Amino acid sequence: MAFIGSESGRNAVTVSSDTTLRASLRRRKRIERELAVLRTMESHLFTKEIVWAILTIPGVAALVILVAWKAHWWSGSPPVAASVAALTGLGVWWIGRRWLALAAIIIFGLADPT
């Protein structure tokens, strides 16, 4: 009987160590995933990129306002200017912030040379 009891005691220790080992492996994998995400994010947190992100929003707003002003100047109608501004905003959003220079070229292209 003592042998059976000690055997079950050994099994209990084995099960306990298996559970501890699995928990340790899961924790290690989770930490490795978190570190990989932090390394990926690290490259996106430079000051230059943050400044560009902050300047992009007012820049896009200025572009949309310029288009609305130009549309109002051409048509003399505030509803047309608002519609054109909304469409321009959607267009700029669709082009994306990486293509902000293209949006600026379009705006300058709308400028009257005279």
Number of separate helices (H) and strands (E) present in the chain: 4, 0
Give the residue among 112, 88, 113, 114 at the shortest CA–CA distance from 102.
88
If one compares 4 and 74, the residue with the highest pLDDT of the two is 74
If one compares 104 and 8, the residue with the highest pLDDT of the two is 104
pLDDT tens-place string over residues 75-98: 888 999 889 888 888 877 777 756
Would you state the pLDDT for residue 100?
Answer: 64
Q: What is the percent of the chain where pLDDT is above 70?
A: 66
Amino acid of residue 103: A
Residue 92 CA to residue 81 CA, distance in Å, equals: 16
Would you state the pLDDT for residue 29?
Answer: 93
Q: Are 68 and 81 in contact (CB under 8 A)?
A: yes
Which H or E run contains 88? helix 78-95
Q: Are 87 and 44 in contact (CB under 8 A)?
A: no
Would you state the pLDDT for residue 61?
Answer: 84
Residue 21 has pLDDT above 60, yes or no: yes
Task: Compute the mean pLDDT over every residue in the chain, rounded to the nearest whole number.
Answer: 76
Would you state the pLDDT for residue 8?
Answer: 52
